[in-house]
Amino acid sequence: MREGKLSYGGMKGYRARKVLRKTVNMIPIYILLIAASAITALPLYWTATRAVMGAGEIYLIPPKWIPPWPLRWSNFTKALNQMPFGQFFANTAFVTVMATAGTVLSSSLVAYSFARFRAPGSRVLFGILLATIMVPYEVRMIPTFILFKYMGWLNTYLPLIVPTYFGISAFYIFLLRQFMLTIPLEIDDAAKIDGCSAFGIYWRMILPLCKPALASVAIFTFVANWNDFLGPLIYLKDKEKYTVSLGLAFYSTESGLTNPAHVMAVTLLTVLPIIVLFFFTQKTFIQGIVTTGLKG
């Protein structure tokens, strides 16, 4: 009995030493990750500190890493009074939500077709679809502009929203297809026995199982459309229709928003929705990225 206790205690000590050794070996990795995170967060920290400084304090050499007290929270109100930020924010939210919904819906539908149906030439079509990833937007920009001009869509949000409902993103289709390939085909067979149609399987069975991948696509699309500058610059003319990125660029170069602290304050408000979105969805987002591509 005593020997059993000693062996049990010895086993506990061995496991403790093993865990300690593993933790010590991970310390360099933790240090590297902390350093990389600090470098990545540095621009955001710089923007946040400059947003609550005076205009003269921003250009000090050496620079101040900690803003002096009292913090100038009035920079936010003064900047918002100089530009119609609320209108720009509403315009951006409308375009972003509509474009995100269109991208998720159309990409998932096309990915479902490639993942669950087998037809002659489907692999060739999928290869052609992937090849479009290599075509940069600048190549398609002028023909697309001419097309939307003849359709009378200039100075409207239609060029920024409507194309997203036609599965234009090959990368998101590839991402969702790879995730759908990990779902067993027996689920489709069971649903067909219960009388479910192909669209019913897609809507009731596949989409609920693809929530992590759908969340990843939604976050990617949201960030891309929220930060989009080139699209609104090409198609929007009236200032009251500007998005946040375009409005901020206009007021910081051609209007009265010349104080760099005010520009930093508005910039911080612009990126705040993206930070909040990722903070609440990071677990689902990471899960979707990790589990995608496990099956070819």
Give 232-257 pLDDT, tens digit per residue.
999 998 888 899 888 888 877 765 56
Whether 116 and 211 share a structural domain: yes
In this prediction, residue 259 carries a pLDDT of: 73
In this prediction, residue 29 carries a pLDDT of: 85
In this prediction, residue 288 carries a pLDDT of: 57
Judge whether 287 lies within some domain.
yes
Q: Could you tell me the residue range of the domain that residue 16 belongs to?
A: 2-39
232's CB contacts (< 8 A; 6+ apart) are 95, 160, 242, 243, 245, 246
In this prediction, residue 254 carries a pLDDT of: 66
Whether 124 and 16 share a structural domain: no
Task: Please give the model's pTM, rounded to 2 decimal places.
Answer: 0.79
Please spell the DSSP secondary structure of 99-118, one letter per residue.
HHHHHHHHHHHHHHHHHH--
Whether 118 and 186 share a structural domain: yes
Task: Kindly report the CATH number assigned to the domain that includes residue 186.
Answer: 1.10.3720.10
**Model confidence over 82-94: pLDDT tens digits?**
778 888 889 999 9
In this prediction, residue 255 carries a pLDDT of: 58
Judge whether 278 lies within some domain.
yes
Number of folded domains in the chain?
2
Judge whether 24 lies within some domain.
yes
Residues lower than pLDDT 70 in the chain: 1-14, 55, 60, 254-258, 284-296
Question: How much of the chain exceeds pLDDT 90, in percent?
Answer: 18
Question: Of 202, 205, 221, nearest to 108 (Cα)?
Answer: 202
Tokens 């979105």 locate to 277
Judge whether 69 lies within some domain.
no
In this prediction, residue 145 carries a pLDDT of: 92
Whether 16 and 87 share a structural domain: no
Whether 19 and 158 share a structural domain: no
Cα–Cα distances in angstroms (integers) from residue 20 to residues 13, 133, 162, 229, in the given order: 10, 47, 56, 50
Structure-block tokens of residue 213: 């991948």
Whether 125 and 11 share a structural domain: no
